[in-house]
Amino acid sequence: MLEVKGLSKHFGGIRAVDNCSFSAEKGRITALIGPNGAGKTTAFNCISRTMTPTAGEVWLDGERIDHLRPHRITAKGLSRTFQISRNLADMTVLENVICQSKISGWRDLFKPAMSPSEIDKAMAILDFLGITRIAHEDGSNLSYGQKKLMDLAALLMSDPKIILLDEPAGGVNPTLLEEIVGHIRALNDKGMTVLIVEHNMELIMRLSHRVVVMAQGTVIADGTPEEVQKNPAVLEAYLGGALEDAA
């Protein structure tokens, strides 16, 4: 579904992502992990084109997309969340979700701000996520976990083929975390391809089919959760860095 080839992003002499290559198999959950500063979110930004890559290629379902603008990539079927919710605080949850709907063209300018079909679709997604009760809440009144669920709902409005989740568990209480994990599994069971960046290793190891490990901007390991846990390079990247920090 997604293939990244030789992706690089340089900031002057800093190589945040350096000749990075990996893929996300259709219908599977792939995790992108690594210590802080490994380049995971920068790679996400380059894939979704919210940041222009220095070099490399990104292919979605057999079509090259790294030259497209972000809204065109979304239209092709790739949607993402961000570490920090980008909701509009002066709008309700329902309005925030609907504003992520697909745009068909200039004729949409003459349609109501929220069409009946969009409302029905958004409410169905909120129902799937179990948050219809907050549909008319102001976005600024939500808890951190509720904002994560709202972001997930908004992402689904574009009918994506693959979703990129940037730390969906970050700052979420354990109960709500299990709900989010359940929703990700349910989406995957329906055929959704998922690429996830997350620091919660226990979650990653029980949720993912495949794990790609980054360190210092490049891929150092790629395999099943069991294989990655035993990989000496991965242990060195995590434990070596931790020991250096402690020292």
**Tens digit of pLDDT for each residue in 88-115?**
768 899 998 988 665 554 455 446 567 7
Q: Which residue has the higher pLDDT, 13 or 89?
A: 13
d(CA 19, CA 38): 13
Whether 6 and 59 have beta carbons less than 8 Å apart is answered as: no
Strands 55-60 and 63-64: antiparallel
Looking up residue 36, the CATH number of its domain turns out to be 3.40.50.300
Q: What is the pLDDT of residue 168?
A: 87
Whether 177 and 143 have beta carbons less than 8 Å apart is answered as: no
Sheet holding 14-24, edge to edge: 14-24, 2-11, 55-60, 63-64
What 3-state DSSP class applies to 78?
Answer: strand
Q: What is the pLDDT of residue 243?
A: 34
pTM over 0.95: no
What 3-state DSSP class applies to 114?
Answer: coil
Residue 246 has pLDDT above 50, yes or no: no
φ, ψ (nearest 5 deg) of residue 185: -65, -40
pLDDT confidence band for 83 (50 / 70 / 90): confident
Domain that holds residue 88: 2-246
What is the chain's mean pLDDT, rounded? 87
CB atoms within 10 A of CB 136: 10
Work out the average pLDDT over 5-20: 94
d(CA 197, CA 40): 7
Long-range contact set of residues 171-178: C-beta below 8 Å, sequence gap at least 24: 171/144, 171/145, 172/144, 172/145, 172/148, 173/145, 176/145, 176/146, 176/148, 176/149, 177/145, 177/203
Q: What is the pLDDT of residue 242?
A: 40
d(CA 178, CA 185): 11
Q: What is the pLDDT of residue 116?
A: 82
* pLDDT tens digits for range 179-210: 889 999 999 999 999 999 988 888 888 899 99
Domain count within the chain: 1
Residue 17 has pLDDT above 90, yes or no: yes
Enter the tokens of residue 124.
Answer: 């169905």
Strands 2-11 and 14-24: antiparallel
Residue 49 has pLDDT above 50, yes or no: yes
CB atoms within 10 A of CB 191: 9
Q: What is the pLDDT of residue 106?
A: 46
